[in-house]
């Protein structure tokens, strides 16, 4: 059973640290607090992660991997409405499923993005260029309204992540945290806004009835 204790304690620490880093940021989080939340003495945290920075970077790496996996890879021959809607819905789901991860990512951006700029350059940017090409192709085919692809993607990212990053704002307006049903409704609602914003009304290649399910919201 080599490494079982190791794995378990590492997981415990990572879990506690992710939450605290998300809640209070890197500087606002103390090793002591992580240790307390994980139910371990402080020295034990240092046994598994020699420095606070190493611990933080470990968490950040994992988050970037998750982000990348959720990007989705819609192509030129997909149906625009369907592809965009499912992308938006996947992103909203991720926001609700891993709010801590989203907020750590957001903090990294606010801090200037120095730690993630390799990720942005090497992973995100190529992905964006590929997707932008798809969007432009759709527009050429008359299936998408002429919209700046970059700004559309920025808007989608922003609109979906806001439910994790700005949760207190949502809570104050909606009067509480959304339950599972509300989360699904939110996903549909945002997807609908995006689709309506840019998918051509008389899309020649797609069945318009498929969009009909994204109906009104309460």
Could you list the residues that contact DNA (CB under 7 A)?
A: 1-6, 9, 29-32, 40-44, 46-48, 50-53
Token digits for 89? 């819905």
CB of 156 to its own copies, least distance (A): 9
Helix (H) / strand (E) element for 203: namely none
Which C-beta is closer to its own copies: that of 40 or that of 167? 167
d(CA 39, CA 15): 12
Q: Which does 154 bind (CB under 5 to 8 A by kind): DNA, its own copies, none?
A: its own copies
User: Between 11 and 172, whose beta carbon lies closer to DNA?
Assistant: 11
Which residues in the 25-54 window bind its own copies by CB under 8 A? Answer: 25-28
Q: CB under 8 Å to 138, separation ≥6 — which residues? A: 76, 80, 144
Partner whose footprint covers residue 201, from its own copies, DNA, none (CB < 5 to 8 Å by kind): its own copies
24/210 with CB nearer DNA: 24
Q: Rounded to the nearest whole angstrom, what is the least distance from the CB of residue 29 to DNA in the complex?
A: 6
- Measured CA to CA, the distance from residue 101 to residue 95 in angstroms comes to 8
At which residue do the structure tokens 């909203």 appear?
A: 92
Q: Is 159 in the site for its own copies (CB under 8 A)?
A: yes
Binds 51: which of DNA, its own copies, none (CB < 5-8 Å by kind): DNA
CA distance 7 to 128: 36
Q: Which letter does DSSP use for residue 120 in this model?
A: I
- 199 forms bridges with which residues in the sheet? 144
Residue 46's binding partner among its own copies, DNA, none (Cβ under 5 to 8 angstroms by kind) is DNA
Partner from its own copies, DNA, none contacting 216, C-beta within 5 to 8 A by type: its own copies
Question: Contacts with its own copies in 58-97 (CB under 8 A)?
Answer: none
Q: Residue 63 in contact with residue 97, Cβ under 8 Å? A: no
Q: Which ranges of the chain would DSSP assign to H, the alpha helix? A: 4-28, 31-38, 42-48, 52-69, 80-97, 99-110, 117-119, 125-140, 149-165, 167-174, 180-198
Which residues are near its own copies by CB under 8 A?
Answer: 22-28, 103, 106-107, 109-113, 116-117, 120-121, 124-125, 128, 142, 145-148, 150-155, 157-159, 161-163, 165-174, 185-186, 189-190, 192-194, 196-198, 200-202, 207-208, 210-211, 216-218
């Amino acid at each position: 059973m080599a490494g079982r204790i190791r794995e378990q304690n590492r997981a415990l620490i990572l879990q506690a640290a992710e939450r605290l880093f998300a809640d209070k940021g890197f500087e606002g989080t103390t090793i002591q607090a992580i240790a307390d939340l994980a139910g371990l003495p402080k020295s034990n945290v240092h046994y598994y992660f020699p420095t606070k920075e190493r611990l933080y970077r470990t968490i950040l790496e994992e988050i970037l991997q998750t982000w990348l996996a959720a990007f989705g890879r819609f192509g030129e021959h997909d149906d625009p409405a369907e592809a965009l809607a499912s992308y938006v819905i996947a992103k909203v789901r991720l926001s609700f499923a891993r709010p801590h991860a989203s907020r750590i990512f957001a903090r990294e951006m606010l801090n200037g993005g120095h730690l993630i700029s390799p990720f942005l350059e090497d992973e995100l940017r190529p992905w964006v260029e590929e997707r932008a090409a798809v969007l432009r192709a759709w527009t050429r085919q008359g299936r998408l309204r002429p919209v700046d692809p970059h700004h559309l993607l920025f808007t989608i990212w922003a609109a979906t992540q806001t439910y994790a990053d700005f949760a207190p704002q949502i809570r104050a307006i909606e009067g509480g945290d959304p339950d599972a049903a509300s989360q699904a409704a939110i996903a549909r609602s945002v997807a609908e806004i995006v689709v309506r914003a840019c998918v051509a009304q008389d899309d020649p290649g797609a069945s318009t009835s498929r969009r009909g399910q994204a109906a009104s919201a309460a």
